Amino acid sequence: MTERLNGKTALITGSTSNIGRAIARRFAAEGAHVVVSGRDARRGAAVVADIRAAGGLADFVRADLDGSVSASRALADAALERAGGRLDVLVNNAGIYPASTTATVDEDMFDRLYAVNVKAPFFLTQALAPSMAATGGGVMVNLGSWVARMGVPVGALYASTKGALETLTRAWSAEFAAVGIRVNAVSPGVIRTPDLADDEDEPGAAMMLGTPAGAAGHPDAIASAALYLASDDAAFVHGTVLDVDGGRIGVAVVAGEHARRGNED
């Protein structure tokens, strides 16, 4: 590894599994002191143990980011304490995706989705931006989604929350630039859950048919993109949503032609 985050501290929300876990491991491998957070203390301890076993620095803070100001501020305070009073990188990754259509969404689901996916990162950013500014600046990386900009017939409510977070990315980039905080986002395509058995299908993987990648991606691909945005390599990158989606958004491919060419290779 190149240790592109050597000497940095980073808080990654929702980092006890999947994409968040991959980001935490990668940041630690690149020299960052990582604060792992999530609701499940057992899984959090396992991530920390893996990082430390590999020679990295990590601590766990349990957090149930329910959208309340108090929950976000409590995580901010605890993370700053674990990180020695300074956080250089915040990754707003935690989110939920209950399967739904517009017809099946009730008020409780609506409020919970916006609480976890929008209010929680909003108030966590509110809580941490002043401390980042006071210590010379920092970096924020938000997790969007390809469905925020490409309509699909399921998950409209979820897509709208990710659209909100991508909009906040641009607004925060403008708002916090003067105090030295860079803000960008990663927009994943369908990502395979690493804990699935080899013979299990990833839900939603069919949506990657016809893309250049032709299949669901791996969480490590998102971790690499988040690392780039968090590092000094991206010092001139502001307010950007980086699509890491196998070409789902940006490339039009005829599914049948793509499949035919694949069979010829």
Q: Taking all residues of the chain, what is their mean pLDDT, rounded to a whole number?
A: 92
Stronger pLDDT, 263 or 79, i.e. the higher one: 79
Cα–Cα distance measured from residue 185 to residue 206, given in angstroms and rounded to the nearest whole number: 25
Closest CA to 144 of 248, 251, 11, 242: 242
For helices 18-29 and 41-53, angle between their N-to-C axes, nearest 10 degrees: 30
Going by pLDDT thresholds of 50, 70 and 90, the confidence category of residue 213 is confident
Q: Which of 30-44, 80-94, 197-211 has the lowest mean pLDDT?
A: 197-211
Q: What tokens appear for 85 in the block?
A: 């009073």
Place of tokens 């604060």: 35
Can you say how many angstroms the Cα of residue 142 is from the centroid of all Cα atoms in its chain?
A: 6
Q: Per-residue pLDDT tens for 2-29?
A: 899 999 999 999 999 999 999 999 999 9
Which is higher by pLDDT, 214 or 111?
111
The answer to whether the pTM exceeds 0.85 is: yes
Residue of 131 and 197 predicted with greater confidence: 131
The answer, yes or no, to whether residue 235 has pLDDT greater than 80, is yes
Q: What is the pLDDT of residue 2?
A: 80
> Active site includes 158?
yes
**Do 241 and 184 form a contact (C-beta atoms < 8 A)?**
yes
Q: What is the pLDDT of residues 241-256, one digit of tens each?
A: 999 998 898 887 765 5
The tens digit of pLDDT for each residue in 195-204 reads: 655 555 666 7
Kindly list the structural domains of the chain, giving each domain's residue range(s) and its CATH number in brackets, ordered by start.
9-199+217-252 (3.40.50.720)
- Note the pLDDT tens digit of each residue in 39-77: 999 999 999 999 999 999 999 999 999 999 999 999 999
What is the reported pLDDT for 90? 98
- Set 97, 114, 158, 228: catalytic member: 158
According to DSSP, residue 191 is labeled B
What's the confidence (pLDDT) of residue 208? 83
